[in-house]
Amino acid sequence: MKNYTSISDIDDLEGIIREARSLKVKNPESRVGTGKTLGMLFFNPSLRTRLSTEKAAKLLGMEVMVMNVGTDGWALEFEDGAVMNSDKAEHVREAAAVLSQYCDIIAVRAFPGLKDREKDESEQVLNSFKKYASVPVVNLESATGHPLQALADAITIQENNMVKRPKVVLSWAPHPKALPQSVANSFVEMMQRLEVDLVITNPEGYDLAPNIRKDTKVEHDQEKAFEDADFVYVKNWSSYENYGQVLNVQKNWTVDQAKLKNSNNAKVMHCLPVRRNVVIADDVLDSENSIVIQQANNRTFAAQVVLKRILECTK
């Protein structure tokens, strides 16, 4: 694996999930990361991604250097040809090239602005690092995708699946703030590659981008979507059509036990952080159906297998 910036960087999905699960059972004695350094750049806050990726790197023997861009370092310029006489002190061309001198892998978190769809879809921050870094780049959640989360999701579904071809429902849920579509996008892309029946359910106006949905079924009736579901993945996202907006939704989309009554005793997933009683009700999160903590735990092994494969490729 040369980089891990989107799901499409995975060739061998079954193999990578199998290897992640075996890393979870037993950390290998030979540490492929010894003497190697992971640099993690955060343009946005992070709990799980920060800690699970740091832990994964250290399990491989890597050193980890963490930078909160903007507070620890310098404001970055991304525009080519910019005359930098204002608030940006460093261009990504230098930042990425310099970090490549100190780090063997660079991992970047950069959320979308949610104002300008075209700009967000250009993935300027992530792609600039990919372009100007001379070492592999890992996506810690970008404007449009969160492939490490999606890999952890796939591992978690495999661990919990008890049927030949499970029904997996991705359900939109309410949230007071405008959130990116990135987690939902990568989850959909990941599920499209697994042996599952995927249904997306969301209110009108919240359909994901056509190039993400492809021919995946979208059901605007949440309870109908939940019928016979084996897995319900809950997540808010802001509107793609009315880009970045929080629309007025009449019905209550919060996921509670009552709504799951016609599911196949569905396991409930969420990438966390989750707003209780807004996105998912206490009665679900505190029940046996919730596998959100196991899912968060799998972030470590998703990151570990990705870093391991990248290191093996650059040796």
Question: Minimum distance from CB of 98 to a copy of itself (Å)?
Answer: 4
DSSP structure string for 18-51: HHHHHHHH---SS-TTTT-EEEEEESS--SHHHH
Nearer to a copy of itself by Cβ, of 18 and 55: the residue is: 55
Question: Minimum distance from CB of 53 to a copy of itself (Å)?
Answer: 10
* 235 belongs to the binding site for a copy of itself (CB under 8 A): no
74 is in an annotated binding site: yes
* 48 belongs to the binding site for a copy of itself (CB under 8 A): yes
193 is in an annotated binding site: no
Residues near 149 by beta carbon (within 8 Å), at least 6 away in sequence? 49, 141, 183, 186, 187, 271, 299, 302
**Gap between the Cα atoms of 99 and 106, Å rounded:** 7
Residues near 274 by beta carbon (within 8 Å), at least 6 away in sequence? 234, 280, 285, 292
Number of residues that bind a copy of itself (CB under 8 A): 59
Nearer to a copy of itself by Cβ, of 4 and 42: the residue is: 42
- For a copy of itself, the binding residues in 82-101 under the rule CB under 8 A are 82-86, 88-91, 93-95, 97-99, 101
Range 54-93 burial, b when 16+ CB lie within 10 A, else e: bbbbebbebebeeeebeeeeeebbbeeeeeeeeeeeebbe
91 is in an annotated binding site: no
Q: Which of 34, 242, 257, 293 binds a copy of itself (CB under 8 A)?
A: 293
- For a copy of itself, the binding residues in 52-71 under the rule CB under 8 A are 52, 54-55, 58, 63, 65, 67-68, 71
141 is in an annotated binding site: yes
Q: Is 231 exposed, middle or buried (0-12, 13-18, 19+ CB in 10 A)?
A: buried
The number of residues making up the chain comes to: 315
Token pair for 299: 């972030």
How far apart, in Å, do the first and last CA atoms of the chain sit? 12
Nearer to a copy of itself by Cβ, of 72 and 241: the residue is: 72
Question: Minimum distance from CB of 121 to a copy of itself (Å)?
Answer: 25
Q: Contact positions toward a copy of itself, by CB under 8 A?
A: 27, 35, 37, 39, 42, 45-48, 50-52, 54-55, 58, 63, 65, 67-68, 71-74, 77, 81-86, 88-91, 93-95, 97-99, 101-103, 176, 272-278, 282, 285-286, 292-293, 296-297, 300
